[in-house]
Amino acid sequence: MTFLLTLLAAILVLGPLVALHEWGHFIVARLCGVKVLTYSIGFGPKLAGWRSKKSGIDYRISALPLGGYVKMLDEREGAVAADELHLAFNRQHPLKKIAIVAAGPIMNFVIAIFLFWVLFMTPSEQLSTMVGEVLPDTPAAIAQLPVGDKVVAIDGHDVQTWEAINYRLAGRMGETGKVSITLNANDGSAQTYDAPITDFMQHNSGKDALSSFGVLPWQPTILPIVGGLSEGGAAERQGLQVGDRITAINDTPIDDWISATRIIRDNPETLLAFDVVRDGKPVRLEIMPQGKKDTMGNAYGQIGAMVESSEITIPDAYKTTVVYGPAEALVQSFKKTEQLAVMTVDSMGKMISGMIGLDNLSGPITIAKVAKQSFDISWQMVLSTAALISLSLAVLNLLPIPVLDGGHIVYYLIELIRGRPVSENAQMVGLNIGLLLLAGFMVLAIGNDISRLF
């Protein structure tokens, strides 16, 4: 059932993005006077579809859901009647060819901007960017960031949410240098701190950018009292009981549930010494957190213990409502799209140069799992996930690899400058190289996906 739900979530998120990408090619081709023969979602054998009586276009859904294509009339792919030569793609001006090929990625950019625009206009109550905790032995601790001050900028870029802070810090992955972080104190004064980083997040063991940097938002104080146990979980098997109060783990004092959770998550398959108070008496237990993997394949520990249920009240000082009017939301959506597009290209460069590991590359299995998780959380998360995937599709398709849209654009730019098309032999060599590169990326990405599963 989980597999089927994951597959359905992937189809619901990726299907419209692929369809609209291909529709971009389709509609611009028709506007440019090129005859379209086939509009397909997916590759391979036809599963379903119909042929338009008016235009003769074959609309279809095909068996392999890893993309789609728009097939146009083209002399390079078959004989073309003399009275239709002017409708053939290969006979068009280079600028028309560029417009048709670029329309797909541009459509993905438009989708991302639209979805971000909707999200920015949706009021959301969030934790303010007030620093709640600075983790020891981290860049934030070295820079002596004060708890209680509000983060307002990272490297000179304004930030209003923890998500924005996380993205800005993630953009520094693999780098050595300093992160400039500006905070506002309660009296309104601002101060900028320089936090040193060395190979930032290169060996982060699954930690997110905030934890790696060492700055966390405010979190409620939850007493470390066990309220429930999962049947067959490590905690139950190794003697933890409902009502036990955890006082220390591996001799590290524990004052709240979140501190205990952090140690447990960071130590999968490692025997930990738990000091608890049970019926007023101290008890020491040895518990080994069971190793689990998150969506990105990062290992974490879990013992199967739950906190006592209680209502959590967030103080007003730690809350903020983020909402924009239509115009400002559009500006913010353009800014976010630009930031994430640049970060995506930058990350690719860092993977090629070795600044960050190739294990950061994800394939269709991880994308499907992320899509499923987004449906489990909220409709806002579904839109956010769709926007991020659409943006990634746009950037990836614009890479100057011959088999992708970006590679074709390079050919047509050369044709525009030279006044004649790139030779078919040169295009074929480029196509073979592109296919090899793309196949290599796919094997690596799917390999990473499989390793995250196991």
pLDDT above 80 for 298: no
Q: Please give the pLDDT value at position 299.
A: 82
pLDDT above 60 for 205: no
Average pLDDT, the chain: 90
pLDDT band at 271 (very low <50, low <70, confident <90, very high): very high
Q: Please give the pLDDT value at position 311.
A: 67
d(CA 194, CA 378): 36
What the block records as the tokens of 119 is 């999200």
pLDDT above 80 for 215: yes
Residue 228 main-chain phi, psi, to 5 deg:
-165, 160
pLDDT above 90 for 316: no
pLDDT above 80 for 310: no
- Mean pLDDT for 167-196 is 92
pLDDT above 90 for 91: yes
pLDDT band at 82 (very low <50, low <70, confident <90, very high): very high
Per the annotation, the verdict on 311 as an active-site residue is no
For residue 430, which amino acid is it?
A: G
CB 272 within 8 A of CB 239: no
> Whose structure tokens read 């506002």?
184
CB 40 within 8 A of CB 62: yes
Residue 418 main-chain phi, psi, to 5 deg:
-80, -25
pLDDT band at 221 (very low <50, low <70, confident <90, very high): confident
At 80 the three-state DSSP class reads coil
pLDDT band at 296 (very low <50, low <70, confident <90, very high): low
Residues in the chain: 454
pLDDT band at 239 (very low <50, low <70, confident <90, very high): very high
| Active-site pick, 22, 77, 286, 328 | 22
| Domains of the chain, first to last | 125-218+314-322 (2.30.42.10), 226-313 (2.30.42.10)
- Mean pLDDT for 114-140 is 92
- Mean pLDDT for 13-22 is 93
pLDDT in tens, 28-80: 999 999 999 999 998 889 999 999 999 999 999 998 877 899 999 999 888 99
pLDDT above 80 for 453: no
